Amino acid sequence: MAERARRQRLIVGTVVGLAILGYLLWFPQQQAPADVRLWTTAIYFGIAAMGLNLLTGYNGQVSIGHGAFFGIGAYTTAILVNDHGWSLLATIPVAAALAFVVGVAVGIPALRVKGLYLALVTLGLAVVFPDLTKKFVRGVGGTNLVRVPSASLRPPEWMPGGLQPDQWGFYLALTISLALLGGVWLIVRGRFGRALIAVRDHEAAATTVGVDLARTKVLAFALSALYAGVAGALSVQVTGIANAEKIGTFNLSILFLVAVVIGGTATVFGPLIGGFLVVMIQEQTTDFVADPPFLSGFLSGKEVLSPAIFGIMLIVLMYFLPDGIVGGFRRLLRRILTRRQPAEPLGASVAP
Amino acid sequence: MSLLEVRSLRAGYGPVEVLRGIDFHVDEGEVVVILGANGSGKTTTLRALSGMVETSGEVVFDGRSIAGARPEQVAQAGVAHVPQGRGTVTDLTVEENLRLGAYTRRDKEVGTDLERWYEMFPRLAERRQQQAGGMSGGEQQMLAIARAMMARPRLVLLDEPSLGLAPLITQGLFRTLGDMNRDLGTSMLVVEQNATLALAIATRGYVLETGEIVVEGTATELAGNDDVRKAYLGI
Ligand SMILES: Nc1ncnc2c1ncn2[C@@H]1O[C@H](COP(=O)(O)OP(=O)(O)O)[C@@H](O)[C@H]1O
Ligand SMILES: [Mg+2]
């Protein structure tokens, strides 16, 4: 019975997955460059959210500072491309590695604090990061903004058939996101994933089965930083720049967290969906305020209101789907499946 | 030499000293029980062995000192701990909890062991894909014990396995513990308030009173001791 349900789920999942993938592969061929860039943005938001989910969802450590790791990835890529003539593609592993190393460096002192205090420490990271870039980065006109030459955004020579930079960026982000999604899938189903959850739910139990708390937490921190770093590197392909401002870095950090929560914490696919929704809802609310379909003229020019509308939409979403999109989808699926199948017999066995 | 040798073990929480220098040992293949009333320091004793509280004194396991070792080091040395309140990870499935128990192992026989424990506890086999949090207290206790055994430990520390369980379930549980000890030769250190059942499977025992060992002897001697009978057997 359970076996059949599992097979059904696998088949449905494969079909839906292939359909979505097919649509995504076709998407950049049809859409305007601006839309392709928007979707690419959605994908790299999803990547950052996937990583944060490993830390916050699976390991229970809340960070509101991952915008900083995103920034580290973006600056690594932009500086290597602009100042040292690297190809953008080659910078991605370096951005990932650097974010990972800084993740270890931040994760070790972060071991001393938990919960709200950890959130505050990571917030500090988001606040300090822009200052550090202002001090050490020599960008356009002496600012901390680094712009890469537009030629560097073109696809590499060995790529087939006349891809535009935005299309190349989309396929690049999509490929990397699938690889990193596979990474999450392997992690959460394996030994390390069980340790992450055990540490989150029951530290004492985790240590008594032999889990090293410190190593597990630091590794979770560093892995999540790596994902954010890759997202930052990809952002350069879309925007052509690396930049860090106080509000911007903090805002990004919050948005990653929001993406995790609305997609579904501690689910494999949730953060990707959440990242997509966050980017799209934000875009829509900005458009909506700039050019309202009704109430003509009432909202226009009041861009300050768009965060408020964004916030209201999130609250509505969380009200109807408290366990995120994936959680809500699961409940729906369960309801459909249990209606179709007879209930399993209960209490057939006796305790030994 | 004993598998576990403990000498003048002291432990406590900050300024509060709970264990005031206790000596005991567990030989290879033995089931040893420590009886004691609420608050006498039973849980603290097991926590001290597992490196979960500050201690002083000697703890030698299998010829090596594990005094002051961290909990994961104690686990890696071959000591499994079934904590009071079971410590199952509620968000993991039954099977994931069992696999978590094998965290320290790198061999290829984890799957074989899984099947063995499912056979021993059919209730767990039925619920392998269910989240552990949804199970009854008795089932969670079975899971906690099976999870500890998944590490293939040489010594299992059991903290009041009977706590909060119906008498019938507790009886079954102790019978299983006895079987495990007989079939696998795994040594056990059980702390309990339920003396009748614990003494039935034990080789030897100790009585702990406010952090000191006041009586020790074979299981038969303890069962015949007047003070023990009054305090723990309700006779
Ligand atoms: N975390 C703790 N902090 C401070 N005191 C504790 C703590 N845990 C237990 N104690 C105290 O230590 C003594 C022994 O407790 P415990 O070892 O749990 O006893 P038992 O398991 O025999 O009931 C009790 O007086 C208890 O109040
Ligand atoms: Mg106790």
Ligand 2 centre and the CA of B95: distance in Å?
27
CATH number of the domain that residue B168 is part of: 3.40.50.300
Q: How far apart are CA A116 and CA A113, in angstroms?
A: 8
Q: How far apart are CA A137 and CA B44, in angstroms?
A: 55
- Residues B160, B232: one domain? yes
- Residues B69, B159: one domain? yes
- Residues B60, B174: one domain? yes
Q: What is the pLDDT of residue A253?
A: 94
Flag whether pLDDT at B97 surpasses 60.
Answer: yes
Ligand 1 pocket (Cβ < 6 Å) reads B 13, 16, 18, 36, 38-44
Ligand 2 centre and the CA of A144: distance in Å?
59
Tell me the mean pLDDT in the region B32-56: 95
| Angle formed by the axes of helices A66-84 and A213-239, nearest 10° | 50
Beta bridge partners of B35: B192, B207
- Residues B87, B146: one domain? yes
- Residues B64, B163: one domain? yes
Ligand 1 centre and the CA of B52: distance in Å?
13
Task: Assess contact for A258 and A49: CB atoms under 8 A.
Answer: no
- Residues B200, B159: one domain? yes
In this prediction the ipTM stands at 0.90
Using CA atoms, how far residue B137 sits from A111, B116, B120, B142, B156, in Å, is: 33, 22, 17, 9, 20
Which 8-state DSSP code applies to residue A343?
P
Using CA atoms, how far residue A237 sits from A40, A166, A256, B28, in Å, is: 9, 8, 19, 64
Predicted confidence band at B229 (pLDDT cuts at 50, 70, 90)? confident
Q: What is the pLDDT of residues B126-172, one digit of tens each?
A: 999 999 999 999 999 999 999 999 999 999 999 999 998 999 999 99
Tokens of A153: 């955004």
Which 8-state DSSP code applies to residue B64?
E
Question: What atom in ligand 1 is closest to the CA of residue B211?
Answer: 14
Q: What is the pLDDT of residue B228?
A: 83
| DSSP characters over B158-175 | EE-TTTT--HHHHHHHHH
On average, the pLDDT of chain B sits at 94
- Residues B104, B65: one domain? no
Question: What atom in ligand 1 is closest to the CA of residue B42?
Answer: 22
A172 CA: distance to closest CA in chain B (Å)? 35
| Angle formed by the axes of helices A2-30 and A33-52, nearest 10° | 140
With CB atoms and an 8 Å threshold, state whether A202 touches B89.
yes
User: Residue ranges of chain A with pLDDT lower than 50?
Assistant: 342-352
Domain end point (choices B152, B172, B196): B152
Domain end point (choices B117, B133, B152): B152
> Closest-CA residue in chain B for A194?
B100
With CB atoms and an 8 Å threshold, state whether B123 touches A210.
no
- Residues B119, B213: one domain? no
Domain end point (choices B128, B152, B176): B152
- Indicate which ligand has the atom closest to the C-alpha of B36: 1
Q: Parse chain A into domains and list their residue ranges.
A: 24-261
Q: What is the pLDDT of residue A351?
A: 39
Q: In total, how many domains does chain B have?
A: 2
Sign of CA dihedral B79, B207, B137, B197: positive
Q: What is the pLDDT of residue A285?
A: 78
Tell me which residues of chain B, numbers 168 to 187, contact chain A at a CB-CB cutoff of 8 Å.
169, 172, 175-176
With CB atoms and an 8 Å threshold, state whether A266 touches B91.
yes
**Residue B116 sits in which domain range?**
83-152
With CB atoms and an 8 Å threshold, state whether A211 touches B72.
yes
Residues of chain A with Cβ-Cβ distance to B122 below 8 Å are 349, 352
- Residues B102, B168: one domain? no
Q: How far apart are CA A218 and CA A129, in angstroms?
A: 20
Least CB–CB distance from A351: residue in B70, B96, B172: B172
Question: What atom in ligand 1 is closest to the CA of residue B47?
Answer: 17
Q: How far apart are CA B23 and CA B6, in angstroms?
A: 5
Beta bridge partners of B33: B190, B205
The pTM for the full model equals: 0.89
Least CB–CB distance from B75: residue in A197, A210, A213: A210
- Residues B111, B64: one domain? no
Nearest CA to ligand 1 atom 3: B13
With CB atoms and an 8 Å threshold, state whether B104 touches A210.
yes
Lowest mean pLDDT among B60-64, B111-115, B168-172: B168-172
